[in-house]
Every structure is written in C-alpha cells, then in structure tokens.
A and B are shown apart, each in its own frame.
Chain A
Amino acid sequence: MSFFYSSESDCTMKIDEKSKWLDAHHDNLASLYTFTQCIALSDIHADGNWKLVIGDLGTDNFSSKLKVFQGVNLMHESSLQDLPNGVISFYMDTHEPRTPAIAVCSGPFIYVYKNLRPYYKFSMPTLEINVTEQELWAQVKDGKINSFTLRESLQGLKLLTKVLIYTSRPESLLIIMTLLFPCIYILNLFLPPFLFPRFFLPLFSISFFPSSFSISSFPSSSFSISSFPSSSFSISSFSSSSFFYFLFSFFLFSLFPLFLLLFLFPLFLLLFLFPLFLLPLFSFLFSLSSFLYFLFSFFFFLFLLFLLLFLFPLFLLPLFSISSFPSSSFFYFLFSFFLFPFKNEGVQLTVRSFKITQVNPSETALLDAYVETFKDFPLKKQPVITCMGTLKKSSTDDDAISCLIIGTENCCIYVLDSAAFTVLKTMTLPSVPVFINVSGMYDVEYRIIATCRDGKIYTFKRVNTTPKHCIELSSQPVGLVRINKTIVVGCMDETLQCVSDKGKRLWSIKLPASIMSMELLDYTAKGISAILVALSDSTVHMYQDKHLVDIIQTPDVINALKFGRFGREEGNLILTTRGGGLIVKILRRHADFEIKDISLGPPASQNTKLNIPKKTKLFVSQSVRERENPVAMFRTFQRDLSLFRLNTARQFAQILENNSSPISSDPKEPLKISALVQGIGPIFKLMVTIQNTSLINPSMNLFIIFEFNNKLYSVRKPRIPIPFLVPGLNYVFDTLVECKTDKGISDDIKVLVFREGQFCPLLTAVISMPVSEIFVKE
C-alpha cells in the first residue's frame, strides 16, 4: 500500500474495526465521469504494478479522455475522438514481456492501445443501406431535392411501419396459424408423450412458419407459456425444430394434472349431455320441429366445442406467464396477438440520416449546413458498439490470448480475432445487447450471456448462431454478473434476480433503491465471490449468494465501480461518484466473510412502541356517565342536531338565494371561483381564478365586477369581461387595487360573477384585504 499518499484535503486512512474496507483514497475533485464498462484494471507495463484505466466521458461531447492512474496519480492521458463505450484489457500476442493491450470502443470503432500508444483501429463491417435512403442522398447530391425534403423523407422512412413489410406476405397465414395452434396443442394433450409423433413437429413449424419469418419477433407473451411448476420464470427454446417439443413436453409433464382438472368438467358435460340432445333425433326422426331442435342443439354443441378448444387455452395462458404480469395481461395478450403484424418498427437509418431527423426543421440554416457538409461523402452504415467482452482463445491462463466479443446496435454479436482483427463468428439476437458476459474458450466450448433492451437474457453456446436460451425478466436489466453457474441480473424495478444458466429462477431480492451499477467481487485469495450493487441512495450493497453481507456508505451516488487488482494490492474497489469523485477502498485481509445476513430477524419497526396514550381515569368516569344515562344523552344530541340542521339549512338557503358562495349552486353553470391578493400595498394585485367544473358544457357571457368601499380602495379594472370558458381549465384574471388611506385600516372586497342581463350574481368571493403599507417619505 506504499503508493497511497493521501493528499492534505482528503481523508487519511480510517480504521474502523467493524468495516470490511479500508479507505485508501478519496478525491471529490477527480472529475471522472464514467461507467462501470469504461473502467479497467490492467498491468500495462508488465511490471506487476497494476494501473487503473478509465475512459472518461468528460463534461461535454468533445472532452472524452482515456486516463491511466498509477496509484492515485494521473500517469497518462490521451484524448478520444468520441464518447467511449467500453474499456477492456486483453492479451493479443505471445511476446515477452506479457504486456496487455487496451481496447476502447466508441461508436463503430475499436481503438487498440499498446504500451499506452495507439496500435490499431478496427472499424466494424459495413451494413447494407436502405435503398430509398441511398437514393435520397443521391438526389440531394444532384441537387434534385432540398435539405428540408430530405429531412421529411427520412423522417417518414424512420417511422415506416412494418405493416408495409407484412403486406407482401399472406396475413391469412398468421391467422390460420393462431387458430390451429391451440387445436394441435389440445390434441397433443390426450396423447401420451411417447406416442407423440415427433415428425409432426418440424412439419408443423415448417408449414406454418415461413422460412423468413423470425420466431423471435413473435410477441413475447404468446410463447411464454411454458413454465416450471416451481418457479414463475419462463423459457423458450429457439432452435426451430425443438421449439415445440420443448413447449409441449413441459406442458405434458408438469401441467398435465392441472389441465386435466380444467378440461375434465367440460368434457364430462360434452360426453354426457350430447347423447341427451341426440334423443329427439331418434324418437321423432321425421318430425320437422324436432329436426330443427336437433340442428339447434347440434350447433350449440359446436359452439361449446369451439369455446372449449379455443377460449380455454387462451384463458390459461396468462396464468402461466410470469407472475409480475398485471391482471389485465389476458387482454393485453389478446390484443398483442392479433395486432402483432401492425407493430410499429421503422427502417434503421444510417447515423448521418438519423442525426438529420433530429435537427429541428425550423433551423433551416443548420440543416442546410449539415447536408452541405456531408452530402459528398459516401453513405456508410456501421453498427455502433454497445458492449464488449473478452474470450480466451485456447488456453485458460491469465495471460492467454483472447478474442474480443462485441455486441452492436444492429442486434449482432461478433467474435473478433485479436491477432488479425478478423470477424471469426457472427451471432444474431432479436434485440440490442447491452451487457455481455463470456466464459469458456473459443476453441473448446464457451457460453455468451447477453442481456438485451427487450428485458430478456439470451445465451449462446459454441454451436449456436441464434440464441440457445431466452430468459425473460420482469423488467429491463441494468447490470449483469455471472457467478459460477448462476446469472445475477439487476433490473430496473429495483430487484436483484438470480437465474441458473439454464433459465431457472433461483431467487429475487427487492432492493431499497434503484440500481446504478453492478460488479462482481471475486477475491481468489480467500475464495470469496460476491456481488457489489451500487444503489441510488448512496450506498453499495454487497451480496454473497442472496445474503446481504455488507453495506458501504458513500458520500455521493456511485456511478461506476470496479473490483480487482490495483497497484500491487489485490482486492481494491474503485468507485467513481456521480459528481466526478474517485474513491479507492481496500478489502481488509481479516474481513469476516461468514454468511450472516444482516437484514435477518424481525424488522426494526416491530420493536418500536406505538405512541398511544392510555385511557385516562377521566375518560372512564365519563364513559360511566354515558352508560348511566345513554337515552337522555342521545335524545339531547339528536334534538340539538336536528335544530342545528334546520339552522344550517336556513343559512344555506340564504346563501343560495344570494349566490354568495364561491361555488355555483346552479347545476347548469358549474363554476368555481377563487381569489388571491398579492403585494404589500398601497397597490395590491388581485387575482381571480375561474374554473368551469363541468365535463362538457362551456360557459359564456359572464363578467366579473368588484364591490368595494370607494373611500378606501380604487380598483383599476372594475369590470372584467370573461371569455368563453372551456371546461376544466383555470382562467386567471387580475386587476390592481390601490389603497387610498394611510390610516392602517382595511376592508373586504367582494368579487361577483354575473351573467349578462341578470341581476343576481352567480358567484361571490369575499376577500379580506390586508392592511396596506404606507409610503415612507424621506
């Protein structure tokens, strides 16, 4: 720890016996604005002194920097072209000494640094550009259309719905499919699994799913039906041949008893009652009326059958979808099922076109300048990198050569060879990956776990180019950590969820605040692995398995955290705060890591005593009085009450007659008025707010007048006409009122609302004016 010099403004080493952490360094003014993905710890010079590499986002778009810290001192700084999106350290060759390279991804490029010098720049392979978009730019270049038209056309292109895309395909196919799907699925229920014709499945999937039709874009809830009996998590397999087999076998094995119950009853009805209805047919075979009766019953039963076959499965579906689904999920499901082809998804534009659609159309100069600058360059579409990971090539050593795994905005994951920088493999996803976790070796077997923006986790193995498993989450993921064979995901709904890598949900914890970032604490020296979760209430929680073992209080909200080797010390925790601060903590060697859930036991609120005063003797004696003569008391009360009611009603009637209330009593004119005085005098501002509280009836032909003592006050606008009042809106009218006296007295001012041609006010508000200040004359 020799390198941690605490500067004078920072706190010195604090030793707290209970804490698992030592405070090594704290600098509030480090001005580091970064995310967990952009922090790496690396032995850049291969001297065993590990450095901290941070891709700093800076404070504006152009001040991104790559910063390297040795100890607490900034050792190296180089500016970056664009905002960094990930920083990673990896070994790319077998040269001695073993110096790792640093890969920084930003936009569609990966910049590789070696020995802190730029070494290689890799650009992502270009993608096919939409033909229309290309034509539009060509026309702009030729001067056929102006920049405004270009913007509008691109905007249209962006919002182009998929309806157009689907019209080329027979939509009837989809409907047939939706109708047949439950039938087949019911049929299968009555067949034992071993008799199940396996050959039927591929046939089914081939015949009803056109080859170009991607299953993944099917609405999620329709296929999230298979479910483990123990957990409410769902899984669907995506290799098209095994998909239905998966689905059905789960149903048959796990849910068969339930289905049996739900279906036996209607089946019983059908089997037993149907013969009864056939009776008339036999007894009065040729009678016309009975024949009609038979027809009726027959169709009625067809209808029943239809109900049984179609609606029951539909009703069952939401039951087995994930538990946190709202109760209306059934309708949602129906809705999404049938409206699915009209889902709104536009054409993916190039970055250049996308930026132009974001320019405000009124700023023509900016638009023209933008188009003028870029129109001569060839149009290029490169996928923007969203996340990055490393994968060992063929050896598990710490310093073995690695491949880069890159997730991009066009829903692909690329495996990049680090020696030649060629794409070894491309995998496609149904959504954009945001966090990626890789384990294994490229040449042997590996597993890639990617969480996507659609709130699902997809896993790949060596043989897959499309996802092998899909795990649905209850909310969007904000962090991903893998411990051994389990995946821990932090979700936007303030939960930490753990699933096995096969998709089985193991546990889920509700957190006290929303998650900022997550990091794995893997301390091999003591064999500890835990999860660090930075929360928005300025704490970092440490979970070992599902037990909360430690809470670190921080002065600010932590934006990014990294655990690893720093300097010569293992087990450092690097934290950067939202305000740009840098905190370094060291895990104590004697830290107690016994699993002891600190949140166990009854909640603290259980022990607090409620402050309810005891019943007093007085109360008891009064209740004795009440018990002794209840009848008299009740009678007096009732008599008083009815007298009071009468009085109230009288006064109320008087108010209604005078309309002296600020709320209109006329049901045809539901108006409400309120008035406010502002100012300290002698001139006050009187603000009158009128609202029409009806739902649909507007009011018109109204005006405000003020009633006041003209010796005391003068009102600038004694009569204010009210415009047409739209229901539900607040209209504010104001006037200035001047107090004419300096005697320190005040009076009431009445605000009256009249209808044209009527003599009785609709509304009245009384304002008691404050005592006015006087002018202080020098």
Chain B
Amino acid sequence: MPPFERMDPMFYAISNFRRRKFKECAELCTSILEKSPYDQCAWTLKTRALTEQVYVDDLDLEEESISESLLDENAIAQTARPGTSLKTPSDNAQETMGISPAVRPVTQSGRPVTGFIRPGTQSSRPGTMEQALQTARTAHTARPVSSASGRYVRLGTASMVSSPDGPFINLARLNLSKYATRPDLAKSLFEYIFYHENDVRTASTLASLAVKSTKEPDWWWQFHSAKCFYRMLLYREAEVLLKSALEQQETVALYHYINKVYIKMDQPLQAIAMYKKGLNRFAGEVTLLIGIARIYESLNDLNESVSFYRQVLRFDSMQVEAIACIATHHFYNDQPEIALKYFRRLLQMGVYKSELFCNMGLCCFYAQQYDMVMVCFSKALALTDDSMLLADIWYNVGHVAMGIGDLNLAHQCFRMTLTYNNDHAEAYNNFGVIEFKKGHLAMARAFYQSSFALAPHMFEPHFNFASLNEKLGDLQGSYNAVRKALDAFPEHTDSKELIQQLRQHFSLL
C-alpha cells in the first residue's frame, strides 16, 4: 500500500499542487468530488490545478497577428509625427545616431536588427497584404497567426482533449452572479474560465459582476477585467480599468499590462513614461527596465536603449537579452572587440549556441583576431541542424571570404546559403555582385531581381540593379530602381549621386 493512501486525500491533493504535480492533483480532486460533489475546497483546487496546467504568462510580448496589424484601428494618429509612433520611427534619430542601413542591416519594417530575437522584432507592421501573407524569413515558425483569439481558441480545445468525459464545469449552466459574490471561489473560477476554457466573454461577464459586487473597487478584479478587454481588443476600456487598479495597488504586473495596452494603441512615449513611473515605485525592477529599452529600440533610439540595457545589467548581470543587445550595438558601432567581450560573457554563462559562435567568429574577424575566426565558424556549423541557421552562418562565412578576397570561397558559401534557404535575399544580392565582377551581366541581373523580389525593404539590390542598368544604358530602368533604393534608404549617398546623374541625363538637351 503506497503511503499516500493513508493520508487525507485533500491534504495530499494540496501537497501535489504545491509540488506542481497538477495532473495528479486534478485526479485526486475528481475522486473527492465523486464522493462529495459539493466539496467547495476540492472544486476550487481542481480549477486551480487545471488552470496551472495551461497557464501562460501573458505579461510578455506576443506576436502581432496579421489581422491585428493590417486592420489596426487603435492607433491614435494615423499619420503620427516622427518619433512619437512605432510606425514612423524618427528619421532624425537615424541620422544622429549613425545607424544607417548601410552599417546595420534592417528588418522588413525598416528597423535596425536587434541583438535578441523576440516576438515582433522580425516582421512587425507589414506594409501590404502580400508582405503580411508571405512567410517571414527567419521567423519561420513564429509566423503571424490569423488572430490572437483564434490561437487561444485552439489552446482551449487542446485542453479540452485532456478531459475525455466532457468539460469539468459547464459554463453555460453556471450562475455567474452567485459566484461573483463569493470572492474565495470566484477568483479561481475566473482564472479557470479565462486560461483553461478561453471563454473570454463569460470571463468578462464574471469579472464585471465581481467588480460591481464589492463596495470598494477591487484592483484584482479590475486588472482581470482589463485582461478580458485586452483580449477582446477593447484597449480604451482596458486602459481605464488598469489606471484605476493602479491607483489602488501598484504592482509590476499592472505596469506591464498597461504598457502592453499603450503599445497596442501605438503610444510608445506614454508607455515609457508609465514604465518610469513604475520604476519610481519598484526601483531597479529589471523587467520594467527591459521594457523601456525595448521601446527605445523600436523607436530607433539605440543609444537610449543601450543605456537602459546597461542599467539592467547593473541589477542582473546574467540578463541574456541585455548582454546580446549591447553586444550587437557595439558590433555595429565599429567596436567588435567590445562586442566580443560580451559574447564571451554569454558563452561563460552557458549559452552554448551556434548563433553565438557565429557572432563571435564575426567579431574576431572584424577585431583582427584572425586565429579564432575559422574555429568559431566551424563550431557554429557543427552545432546546428537547422537549415535557416545554417544558411545564415554560411552567409556570414561568405562575408569573411569576401573580406579576405577569396571570391571563390565566397561564391561557394553563398551557394550553400541558397541551398539551405532559397529565400535568402542578401545572399542573392551578394551572389549578383560576384557574378557582376566575373562579367556575367545577365546572371547578375537575374540575381538582383530575385533579391529585391524577396526583400523589397533592402536598398542594396535596388541600387546594384540601378547601377548595372545604368552601365548597360537602360536609364529609365535604372531610374526606377534607384528610386526604390532611395525609398528604402533615403540617405544613401551613392544612390543620390546616381539619381543626380540620371536626372542630368534626362534633362540634357
């Protein structure tokens, strides 16, 4: 006879719950409920156990879906002033900070690449429907879902499968107003409905009933009511509730949630102000600091962003995201030796990843520590099987090969890149340049074309195509291409010179 048979089943269930053995806990509660169906204690514990199984920390960022980004009506200003919106990152910042796309590559939305891939950094805010529907290249699994609610419905059905004899609680038959007056039961019931059943509408009804039932406003209920509104894309209502909740009780989670709402409403400056308010109360809270740094990064204000990442490291010197972002910043600011230090720190912390070795290889190469370069790349190649990652590593090796003037090796590397990932626009572009140097103009043309077809946000293929066309005498084609290059990168000097030349040609008598 196992020892637990002799224990009080309720106590054992609680013990299981504490040890995060939720499945066992739920089974025990089921058996208790079979004996005494009105045992409120067991009922509550079971709802909590079931909730904990599927609980998602919804404080962090989430991938923005196609429908949300394309049919966004929540932004306050449609054409916001530069620097005040996430959609129009300030151009001024770009000039003064020295981050030009020529130095630091950009993502599809025209932002400099970040050091740390998180939801929203790869393909936020697509310009057209077609761009939105095409699979984002490096985020091949984290593609935008059709809508957040659709995904939650799937999570709900998935949890349903685990209970074969129907749902635990029949929501349709629940007398919500009765439960709303019982704070001890209502909170766990709410979480069950919200996280496990994903029935936002019922959860919202329960929350609003609960808010009304108490005399003085309860911040917990306001917070969770706001969560429901957020899920239903009613950001204004969520903001009001969250503000009032903050007045009663300041918590870090509340600050995070209100900033999520502000970002959805495209109010980055407001979000930063709110984060700073939160920092006054919770000084040195790392997650809040990271939040500020992320917003500055998406506003293209990289210097500010890096200064906040540094603050993060002052409080938590093991923060991977902060280290990676600072390292990337140094790398693209012509200080690869410092970037190398940061990457080595990551390696010491046990992040033994192929991406890291690839980055270290590049840092070594640009910091002139040649004896380490090829070792790093070989390790990077050996550590991964992911074809996307392999493609990127080969692409970087190709850069090193071009740096040492070995065009043959570069050619092979870019070929390998395209083999592993045939949508690699940068590789197509570089391939085109190599073919052009060899004198295969038709090939070069074809490669440039496929490059800008894959990545219209890059200025390089457009400019290369333009200069090739100009050499071949197709001035009109060249003009069209260089216009696109300037759309992607308005400050590109070579493009500007080319367009000047072309204009002169056209206006000649």
> Could you list which residues of chain A lie within 8 angstroms of chain B, going by C-beta atoms?
324, 326, 455, 473-476, 491-494, 610-613, 616, 618-619, 622-623, 625-626, 632-634, 636-637, 640-641, 643-645, 647-649, 651-652, 655, 660-663, 670, 672-680, 689, 691, 693-695, 727-728, 730, 744, 746, 748, 764-768, 770-771, 773-774, 776
CA of A393 to CA of B66, assembled, Å: 74
Q: B373's contact among A613, A637, A689, by CB below 8 Å, is which?
A: A637
Interface string of B346-376 (1 = CB under 8 A from A): 0000000000000000000001111101110
> Given A679-B133, A693-B446, are A770 and B412 neighbors across the interface (CB < 8 Å)?
no
Q: Add 5 more A-B contacts to A611-B98, A663-B431, A676-B134 (CB < 8 A).
A: A634-B370, A640-B378, A672-B446, A674-B422, A766-B421
Q: Which of B407-446 contact A (CB under 8 A)?
A: 409, 412-413, 415-416, 418-423, 431, 442-443, 445-446
Query: B17-25, B146-154, B257-265: which lies at the A interface?
Result: B146-154
Contact A623 B422 (CB under 8 A): no
Q: A648's contact among B146, B333, B409, by CB below 8 Å, is which?
A: B409
Contact B509 A476 (CB under 8 A): yes
> Given A662-B419, A776-B150, are A678 and B130 neighbors across the interface (CB < 8 Å)?
yes
CA of A689 to CA of B449, assembled, Å: 12
- Which residues of chain B are within 8 angstroms of A324 by Cβ–Cβ distance? 508
> Given A640-B374, A680-B66, are A622 and B337 neighbors across the interface (CB < 8 Å)?
yes
Q: B507's contact among A493, A612, A748, by CB below 8 Å, is which?
A: A493
Contact size range, B: 35 or more
- Check: B6 CB closer than 8 A to any chain A CB: no
Contact B368 A662 (CB under 8 A): no
> Given A674-B423, A674-B450, A773-B146, are A613 and B412 neighbors across the interface (CB < 8 Å)?
no
- Check: B80 CB closer than 8 A to any chain A CB: no
> Given A493-B504, A611-B98, A693-B443, are A622 and B369 neighbors across the interface (CB < 8 Å)?
yes
Query: B137-145, B238-246, B282-290, B304-312: which lies at the A interface?
Result: B137-145
CA of A473 to CA of B419, assembled, Å: 56
> Given A640-B375, A647-B378, A689-B450, are A633 and B507 neighbors across the interface (CB < 8 Å)?
no
- Check: B31 CB closer than 8 A to any chain A CB: no
- Which residues of chain B are within 8 angstroms of A634 by Cβ–Cβ distance? 370
CA of A773 to CA of B442, assembled, Å: 40
Q: List 24 A-B contacts (CB under 8 A).
A: A474-B508, A474-B509, A475-B508, A493-B503, A494-B507, A613-B333, A632-B371, A634-B370, A636-B370, A637-B371, A637-B373, A641-B374, A644-B377, A644-B397, A648-B397, A663-B431, A674-B453, A675-B423, A679-B133, A680-B146, A693-B442, A728-B445, A768-B388, A770-B135
Q: Which of B320-344 contact A (CB under 8 A)?
A: 333-335, 337-338, 341
- Check: B387 CB closer than 8 A to any chain A CB: yes
CA of A625 to CA of B134, assembled, Å: 48
CA of A746 to CA of B141, assembled, Å: 8
Contact B507 A492 (CB under 8 A): yes
CA of A473 to CA of B418, assembled, Å: 52
Residue of B nearest to A661 (CB): B419
Contact B334 A613 (CB under 8 A): yes
Shortest distance between the CB of A546 and any CB in chain B (Å): 21
CA of A611 to CA of B332, assembled, Å: 12
CA of A695 to CA of B435, assembled, Å: 14
> Given A622-B369, A675-B422, A689-B450, are A770 and B415 neighbors across the interface (CB < 8 Å)?
no
Contact B509 A473 (CB under 8 A): yes
Q: A626's contact among B341, B368, B420, B453, by CB below 8 Å, is which?
A: B368
CA of A523 to CA of B354, assembled, Å: 75
Shortest distance between the CB of B30 and any CB in chain A (Å): 27
Q: B413's contact among A611, A648, A727, A770, by CB below 8 Å, is which?
A: A648
Q: B450's contact among A622, A636, A672, A766, by CB below 8 Å, is which?
A: A672
Residue of B nearest to A626 (CB): B368
Q: B412's contact among A326, A619, A622, A652, by CB below 8 Å, is which?
A: A652
> Could you list which residues of chain B lie within 8 angstroms of chain A, going by C-beta atoms?
66, 96-98, 130, 133-135, 140-141, 143, 145-146, 150, 153-154, 333-335, 337-338, 341, 367-371, 373-375, 377-378, 387-388, 397, 404, 406, 409, 412-413, 415-416, 418-423, 431, 442-443, 445-447, 449-450, 453-454, 503-504, 507-509
Contact B450 A776 (CB under 8 A): no
CA of A621 to CA of B334, assembled, Å: 16
Residue of B nearest to A476 (CB): B509
Contact A611 B97 (CB under 8 A): yes
- Which residues of chain B are within 8 angstroms of A767 by Cβ–Cβ distance? 422
Shortest distance between the CB of B428 and any CB in chain A (Å): 8
> Given A324-B508, A640-B374, A670-B443, are A676 and B66 neighbors across the interface (CB < 8 Å)?
no
- Which residues of chain A are within 8 angstroms of B504 by Cβ–Cβ distance? 493
Residue of B nearest to A659 (CB): B419
CA of A131 to CA of B66, assembled, Å: 68
Chain A's interface: helix, strand, loop or mixed, by majority?
mixed
Residue of B nearest to A638 (CB): B370
> Given A661-B415, A670-B443, A678-B130, are A766 and B508 neighbors across the interface (CB < 8 Å)?
no
Contact B415 A652 (CB under 8 A): yes
> Given A636-B371, A647-B378, A651-B416, are A674 and B454 neighbors across the interface (CB < 8 Å)?
yes
CA of A670 to CA of B140, assembled, Å: 29
- Which residues of chain A are within 8 angstroms of B419 by Cβ–Cβ distance? 655, 660-662, 764, 766
- Which residues of chain A are within 8 angstroms of B413 by Cβ–Cβ distance? 648
Contact B140 A770 (CB under 8 A): yes
Q: A680's contact among B133, B154, B335, B367, by CB below 8 Å, is which?
A: B133
Contact A616 B145 (CB under 8 A): no
Residue of A nearest to B341 (CB): A618
- Which residues of chain A are within 8 angstroms of B445 by Cβ–Cβ distance? 728
Q: Give the residue among B97, B134, B397, B415 with the most A Cβ atoms within 10 A.
A: B415
> Given A611-B98, A673-B422, are A648 and B134 neighbors across the interface (CB < 8 Å)?
no
CA of A215 to CA of B111, assembled, Å: 61
CA of A651 to CA of B368, assembled, Å: 27
Shortest distance between the CB of B500 and any CB in chain A (Å): 10
CA of A640 to CA of B146, assembled, Å: 47
CA of A612 to CA of B146, assembled, Å: 44
- Which residues of chain B are within 8 angstroms of A623 by Cβ–Cβ distance? 368
> Given A324-B508, A476-B509, A680-B66, are A771 and B412 neighbors across the interface (CB < 8 Å)?
no
Shortest distance between the CB of A293 and any CB in chain B (Å): 48
Residue of B nearest to A693 (CB): B446
> Given A641-B374, A675-B422, A776-B150, are A612 and B334 neighbors across the interface (CB < 8 Å)?
yes
Contact A770 B418 (CB under 8 A): no
- Which residues of chain B are within 8 angstroms of A651 by Cβ–Cβ distance? 416
CA of A655 to CA of B371, assembled, Å: 29
Contact A677 B135 (CB under 8 A): yes
Contact A768 B140 (CB under 8 A): yes
Which 4 residue pairs spanning A and B have beta carbons closest together? A640-B374, A611-B98, A493-B507, A636-B371
Shortest distance between the CB of B192 and any CB in chain A (Å): 21
CA of A109 to CA of B509, assembled, Å: 32
Contact B373 A622 (CB under 8 A): no
Contact B374 A771 (CB under 8 A): no
Shortest distance between the CB of A349 and any CB in chain B (Å): 26
Contact B415 A475 (CB under 8 A): no
- Which residues of chain B are within 8 angstroms of A476 by Cβ–Cβ distance? 507, 509
CA of A633 to CA of B412, assembled, Å: 25
Residue of A nearest to B450 (CB): A674
- Which residues of chain B are within 8 angstroms of A764 by Cβ–Cβ distance? 419
> Given A640-B375, A648-B413, are A768 and B150 neighbors across the interface (CB < 8 Å)?
no
- Which residues of chain A are within 8 angstroms of B404 by Cβ–Cβ distance? 641
> Given A648-B416, A655-B419, A680-B146, are A626 and B409 neighbors across the interface (CB < 8 Å)?
no
CA of A494 to CA of B103, assembled, Å: 32
CA of A767 to CA of B422, assembled, Å: 8
- Which residues of chain A are within 8 angstroms of B98 by Cβ–Cβ distance? 610-611
Q: A770's contact among B143, B333, B450, B454, by CB below 8 Å, is which?
A: B143
Shortest distance between the CB of A512 and any CB in chain B (Å): 12
CA of A655 to CA of B416, assembled, Å: 8
CA of A625 to CA of B371, assembled, Å: 11
> Given A676-B423, A768-B140, are A640 and B373 neighbors across the interface (CB < 8 Å)?
yes
